[in-house]
A and B are shown apart, each in its own frame.
Chain A
Amino acid sequence: MASSQGERRSYARRAQYGAFAGYVVAVTGAIIGLFVAIIWAVDPVGFAQLRLTVAEVTAPVARVASGAGNGASGLGDGIAAWWRAGSQNAQLRADLGKARRQVIRAAALEAENRQLRALLNISRTAPQLVAAANLLSTSASSTRRIALIDAGSSDGVAPGQGVRSADGLVGRTMEVGPSVARVLLLADPQSVVPARRARDGLSLIVTGRGDDLLDVRPLNAAGNVLRVGDLVHTSGTGGLFQPNIPVGIIVRLTSDGGLARPLAAVGSASGVIVERAADAGIVAPPVSDTTNADGTGAP
């Protein structure tokens, strides 16, 4: 009896120690987790690499699932579309038709622009295409909007390259593994794209909001000059995105700018193209004899 009593007591003590240790580990871990999450931009431990490794290993899941049918993706779209009141549909369809026409016009302008630039002897290496890829998955449960594509460093993809679909700009590559890359989507709250209004070249800044609309602000904000239906395309400023990639159409005005619907719907368009950074191919800057002061003429 006595021995069993003692055994029980020692068991209880051990359990108590165990419980206490559990508390210590849990609380310490929670604090460390909070700390790491707060300083995640610095990433001292190299979690980005770990996350890429996980992405590499788990990429076949998305490949197989997307091969099995587009049901899953369509379901996500369906929920999203259902959530936005259906009344927006007609308006959006009209906007889309208008946008398509403007895109065609923009394409013509782009062709003309290319000829003019050739005349100016700006030599860019001809192919902007780095790789064609499929969109595997997105961070569907997080307020960050990050997608995984199935092209990586073995395909020539590097961090900081523009990603587009046939319809328009999708985002930029962020972390690149051997066969997959993580893409910061336009909708991510930390995505900023220098852009222009197609109509008159008004300089704009496009930032993500986390949902399916983009925040558009004019750089020279003197009253709101945007109009519903304005087409927004990349300006190429900053040297990351190629210029003249369609970004979105203004669908609503705000007090100091507008909200744009992105032209490349990530849910439906799964095929994307990774493009070179816009400044990667510039060999000789434009020769100009009068405006050397602004620095563009210096070699």
Chain B
Amino acid sequence: MPASRAQQNRANGPPLSWRLRLTPTISVLLASAVTLLPLAPGAPLLPPLGLMMLLAWRLLRSDIWPLWIGLPLGLVDDLMSGQPVGSAVFLWSAAILTLDFVDRRIVWRDFWQDWAIAAAMLAVALFVGGLLARSGGPLDLLRLLTPQWLLSLLLMPLAMRLVGSLDAWRRLR
């Protein structure tokens, strides 16, 4: 009985708390906003934290966001990152659509598969982002982006861990 009631609640739209609903979005926005801090590395070394949080949430929970969530979140990221506006809108939407496709193919994933998927998507996003910003030829981009990609690769498990604990916190009663 309680199970069926829970199901019905979900179907009718249960009274969700703001914390439950907004934690994923706000955490992605905050990660995007890290570029506002006075960081000045000589090369583009700061990982794309907004995209990493987006991927981490989406890999953990497929049901928290509508498919078009890449549009608003990507636009906000574009306005703060220095990339040409539209690049994250495109890349994040494409990432969400790709993950939607991946969800149908690989239903049960383990940590390593999640990490590999995130790594591939980060590589594509960084490279295409560099092309859209017209920052040089493919070789220049490889030279510029490989360190950044490796850093984001190493930080990705941390992001997933952080998202895991945020997810537990937001579902606390």
Interface 1/0 per residue, A14-58 and B, CB below 8 Å: 000011001101110111111111101001010100110010001
Give the one of B70, B93, B141 with max A CB within 10 A: B93
Give the one of B41, B47, B83 with max A CB within 10 A: B41
Interface 1/0 per residue, A118-152 and B, CB below 8 Å: 00000000000000000111111111111100000
Return chain B residues, CB-CB under 8 Å to A34.
86, 90, 132
Chain A 65-95 residues near chain B, CB threshold 8 A: 65-66, 72-73, 75-77, 79-80, 83
Return chain A residues, CB-CB under 8 Å to B79.
47, 50-51, 54
| Cross-chain pairs A/B with CB under 8 angstroms, 18 sampled | A22-B66, A22-B68, A26-B97, A29-B71, A29-B93, A36-B86, A40-B85, A47-B85, A58-B33, A65-B38, A138-B39, A138-B40, A139-B81, A139-B83, A143-B144, A144-B83, A212-B42, A270-B38
Return chain A residues, CB-CB under 8 Å to B164.
none
Q: A30 near B130 (CB under 8 angstroms)?
A: no
Distance in angstroms between the alpha carbons of A40 and B132 in the assembled complex? 9
Chain B 121-161 residues near chain A, CB threshold 8 A: 129-130, 132-136, 140-141, 143-145, 147-148, 151
Distance in angstroms between the alpha carbons of A226 and B68 in the assembled complex? 53
Q: A65 near B37 (CB under 8 angstroms)?
A: yes
A139-B82, A141-B148, A142-B133 as given contacts; A30 in contact with B36, CB under 8 Å: no
B contact set with A: CB distance below 8 Å: 11, 33, 35-49, 66-68, 70-71, 74, 78-91, 93-94, 96-97, 129-130, 132-136, 140-141, 143-145, 147-148, 151
Query: Shortest CB–CB separation between residue A200 and chain B, in angstroms?
Result: 29
A187 lies within 8 A of chain B by Cβ: yes
Q: Which residue of A lies closest to B144 (CB)?
A: A210
Known A-B contacts: A33-B71, A33-B91. Give 15 more (CB < 8 A): A23-B97, A25-B66, A29-B89, A37-B86, A38-B86, A40-B132, A51-B79, A72-B37, A80-B45, A141-B48, A142-B82, A143-B141, A144-B82, A210-B136, A266-B40
Return chain B residues, CB-CB under 8 Å to A225.
none
A62-B36, A142-B129 as given contacts; A76 in contact with B45, CB under 8 Å: yes
Q: Which 8 A-B pairs have the closest CB atoms?
A: A139-B82, A212-B42, A33-B89, A36-B86, A37-B86, A40-B84, A33-B90, A30-B93
Q: B45 near A61 (CB under 8 angstroms)?
A: no
Q: Which of A33, A37, A72 contacts B39 (CB 8 A)?
A: A72
Q: A211 near B43 (CB under 8 angstroms)?
A: yes
Q: B133 near A30 (CB under 8 angstroms)?
A: no
Distance in angstroms between the alpha carbons of A290 and B140 in the assembled complex? 48
Q: Which residue of A lies closest to B130 (CB)?
A: A143
Distance in angstroms between the alpha carbons of A11 and B13 in the assembled complex? 11
A189 lies within 8 A of chain B by Cβ: yes
Q: B38 near A143 (CB under 8 angstroms)?
A: no
Q: Which residue of A lies closest to B40 (CB)?
A: A267
Chain A 210-249 residues near chain B, CB threshold 8 A: 210-212
Query: Shortest CB–CB separation between residue B173 and chain A, in angstroms?
Result: 26
Return chain A residues, CB-CB under 8 Å to B89.
29-30, 32-33, 36-37
Q: Which of A26, A61, A210 contacts B71 (CB 8 A)?
A: A26
Q: Which residue of B lies closest to A4 (CB)?
A: B8
Q: A189 near B136 (CB under 8 angstroms)?
A: yes
Return chain B residues, CB-CB under 8 Å to A27.
93, 97
Interface 1/0 per residue, A267-280 and B, CB below 8 Å: 10010000000000
Return chain A residues, CB-CB under 8 Å to B84.
36-37, 40, 144
Query: Shortest CB–CB separation between residue A29 and chain B, in angstroms?
Result: 4
A296 lies within 8 A of chain B by Cβ: no
A252 lies within 8 A of chain B by Cβ: no
Q: B46 near A58 (CB under 8 angstroms)?
A: no
Q: B40 near A147 (CB under 8 angstroms)?
A: yes
Q: Which residue of A lies closest to B95 (CB)?
A: A30
Give the one of B86, B89, B135, B136 with max A CB within 10 A: B86
Give the one of B46, B82, B87 with max A CB within 10 A: B82
